[in-house]
Chains A and B, each alone.
Chain A
Amino acid sequence: EAGVAQSPRYKIIEKRQSVAFWCNPISGHATLYWYQQILGQGPKLLIQFQNNGVVDDSQLPKDRFSAERLKGVDSTLKIQPAKLEDSAVYLCASSLLGGPRVDTEAFFGQGTRLTVV
């Protein structure tokens, strides 16, 4: 079974530029998550989708971050404009069960390491 695919693996941009990350979840997984992991910390949930609907985006900085999951499969996360403090690894994960209750395992991609200079 193929895992969660993310691209690119690495990205370096200047502050105030825009950047987009792509995620392809495991086939058949209804729930997709985007996490931000700052160096030395645990992952922080940014947004959770069930199919193509948003379940939770309470910690997404909506003035600069946006995400979509058209057709309920692939997802993109965008930052516009980027700030220095956005430097982090952006992880995508997916899980089988749909609905707001996440009583199942989530599987992670390798992440995209973003450096904002």
Chain B
Amino acid sequence: GQQLNQSPQSMFIQEGEDVSMNCTSSSIFNTWLWYKQEPGEGPVLLIALYKAGELTSNGRLTAQFGITRKDSFLNISASIPSDVGIYFCAGTGNQFYFGTGTSLTVIP
């Protein structure tokens, strides 16, 4: 199946720092979604993007749908300990594909 490449694979940051992660694909998608998954839970939707070039914010989170429709990034500003988790991008068209995940650790 389709593979979405996320980077970085893992991040260790100090509380208060900003975080940036991205997702790339060889295929065009109609929608980009960003999810957060905590241990023992299913992924929880953070942000949904529907148009190329769209920039959307949800609190301290900001995500953009790349102009080429083959990439997206997620930024988290002023990180806090509860931001810890694995962040997945997902692209949709005729199917629904997930990225490889970025594991975020926030050090108080």
- Show the binding face of A for B, using Cβ within 8 Å: 4, 33, 35, 41-45, 48, 56, 58-59, 91, 93, 100-111, 113
22 contacts between A and B (CB under 8 A): A4-B42, A33-B96, A41-B100, A42-B99, A42-B100, A44-B98, A45-B96, A59-B1, A91-B42, A102-B92, A102-B94, A102-B95, A102-B96, A103-B30, A104-B31, A106-B90, A106-B96, A107-B45, A108-B35, A109-B42, A110-B41, A113-B40
Residue on B nearest A35 in the bound complex, by CB: B98
Q: How far is the CB of A52 from chain B (nearest CB, A)?
A: 19
Give the 5 A-B CB pairs with smallest separation, nearest first: A108-B42, A42-B98, A102-B92, A43-B98, A108-B43
Contacts of B100 in A (CB 8 A): 41-42
B residues whose Cβ falls under 8 Å from a Cβ of A: 1, 4, 30-31, 33, 35, 40-45, 48, 50, 88, 90, 92-101
Which chain A residue lies CB-closest to B43?
A: A108
Contact indicator A101/B96 (Cβ below 8 Å): no
In this complex, what residue of A is CB-closest to B35? A108
Collect the chain B residues with CB atoms within 8 Å of residue A108's CB.
35, 42-44
Task: Report B-chain residues with C-beta under 8 Å of the C-beta of A103.
Answer: 30-31, 50, 92
Q: Which of these, A41, A43, A100, A104, contacts B43 with CB under 8 Å? A: A43
